[in-house]
Chains A and B, each alone.
Chain A
Amino acid sequence: DIQTTQSPSSLSASVGERVTITCRASENIGNSLAWYQQRPGKGPKLLVCAASSLESGVPSRFSGRGYGTEFSLTISSLQPDDLATYYCQQYKNGWTFGQGTKLEIK
């Protein structure tokens, strides 16, 4: 099975700050990676697919990059609405998710 490892597990940042979450796959997955946002009590929301393709309607402050085994999700200017847990997911072989990054606003 392909493992995905996210870091950090939690993060506290101020409004306006730039935030980056990383995701590492245990083997080469090309660009078969998605990022999701999950607000408390809600289902996940797709932000990015194919490692860097922003889903329609997602604010442009979100961006994804990476290929192979190393990936990242960046929020260029953190907003209060971004309070959530973020997950990466590989879909090269089955579906496996990172452990999540809980983002808090200072």
Chain B
Amino acid sequence: EVQLLESGGGLEQPGGSLRLSCVASGFTVSSYGMSWLRQAPGKGLEWVSAINGGRTYYADSVKGRFTISRDNSKNTVYLQMNSLRVEDTAKYFCAKEAGDHSYGTNWGQGALVTVSS
């Protein structure tokens, strides 16, 4: 059974950093594209970043501030978030992609990130 478990969320001040982790089970992250998405309180879904093979992709809103990476030995995907802004406040989900960055076949429960002074 495919499972994704996010962790690392919390309260951080503007300008600070957090690292989210997404531990996968039931499949090998190195064999699939993986995405991070977010959902601001009471709002819809926004794609944030993806990693597929050796390539990484970012939404314009986080480019230069967030970095996605993968540790195959731990079957884990990370999202390093630097220079955090109030508008980054959201629940962050990781998702396993179907082929070719098409859609998310499986999603985690999410990790809440709050950026506030």
Contact = CB atoms under 8 A, between A and B. Distances in A.
Given A43-B93, A43-B108, A49-B98, A91 B103 contact: yes
Contacts of B46: 97
A42 B104 CA distance: 15
A70 to B, nearest CB: 19
A44 B45 contact: yes
Contacts of B110: 43
B63 interface: no
A32 B99 CA distance: 12
Interface residues of B, number: 20
B107 A91 contact: no
A45 B44 contact: no
Contacts of A42: 109
B107 A95 contact: no
Interface residues on A, range: 20 to 34
Nearest to A1: B60
A95 B38 CA distance: 12
Interface string A83-97: 000010101001111
Contacts, number: 51
Nearest to A100: B44
Contacts of A41: 109
A46 interface: yes
B102 A91 contact: yes
Contact of A89 (B103, B105, B109): B103
B35 A44 contact: no
Nearest to B37: A95
Contacts of B104: 34, 36, 44, 46
The 6 A-B residue pairs with the shortest CB-CB distance in the complex, in nearest-first order: A43-B107, A34-B103, A95-B47, A97-B45, A91-B102, A100-B44
Interface of A: 32, 34, 36, 41-46, 49, 55, 87, 89, 91, 94-100
10 contacts: A34-B102, A34-B103, A43-B4, A43-B95, A44-B93, A49-B103, A91-B101, A95-B37, A96-B47, A100-B44
